[in-house]
């Protein structure tokens, strides 16, 4: 009997930790720093979050934002990248210095805590549409062309 209770508790606790945001959820405010060590926040005014957890997803977002150009990017957009899986030496001495050459800011989650519930698919970019922290839509993109069109 103790084993059955233990197994049920384990299953229930793992499903709690696996929860991600879905349409209709309200997200918490996000307070991070960008590649220039300046505040980069998701606020009530944010309407679009571009999110990447993988290198491929990040490349899709980077290329789409570069293709749009700085003047054509939505002002209420925040690009958030979870780089917690990247070794700290690589992020500090290689990746972040390279990000400083980009014409847009990237809110960097170096610990993975603030973006743990953000939805993501392998090798895809995530677009989250918001209305005052309420998620109105979540879309996934595997190409620069489709993401650029959506923006």
Residue 88 to residue 23: CA distance in whole angstroms: 33
Sequence-distant (6+) residues with CB within 8 A of 105 are: 34, 35, 36, 38, 40, 79
Query: Model confidence at 69, in pLDDT bands (50, 70, 90)?
Result: confident
Residue 99 to residue 124: CA distance in whole angstroms: 19
Query: Model confidence at 75, in pLDDT bands (50, 70, 90)?
Result: confident
Asked whether residue 4 carries a pLDDT value surpassing 80, the answer given is no
Instruction: Report pLDDT digits (tens) over 86-103.
Output: 998 998 999 999 999 999
CB 140, CB 124: distance < 8 Å: yes
Q: Is residue 150 exposed (0-12), middle (13-18) or buried (19+ Cβ within 10 Å)?
A: middle
Structural domains of the chain, ranges and CATH numbers in brackets: 22-150 (3.40.30.10)
Residue 29 to residue 36: CA distance in whole angstroms: 20
pTM of the model: 0.85
């Amino acid at each position: 009997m103790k084993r059955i209770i233990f197994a049920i508790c384990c299953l229930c606790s793992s499903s709690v930790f696996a929860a991600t945001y879905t349409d209709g959820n309200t997200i918490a405010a996000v307070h991070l720093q960008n590649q220039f060590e300046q505040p980069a926040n998701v606020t009530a005014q944010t309407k679009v979050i571009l999110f990447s957890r993988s290198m491929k997803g990040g490349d899709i977002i980077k290329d789409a934002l570069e293709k749009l150009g700085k003047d054509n990017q939505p002002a209420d957009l925040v690009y958030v990248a979870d780089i917690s899986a990247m070794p700290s030496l690589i992020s500090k001495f290689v990746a972040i210095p390279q990000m400083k050459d980009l014409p847009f800011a990237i809110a960097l989650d170096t610990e993975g805590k603030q973006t743990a519930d953000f939805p993501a698919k392998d090798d895809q970019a995530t677009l989250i549409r918001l209305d005052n922290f309420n998620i109105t839509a979540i879309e996934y993109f595997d190409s620069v062309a489709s993401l650029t069109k959506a923006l």
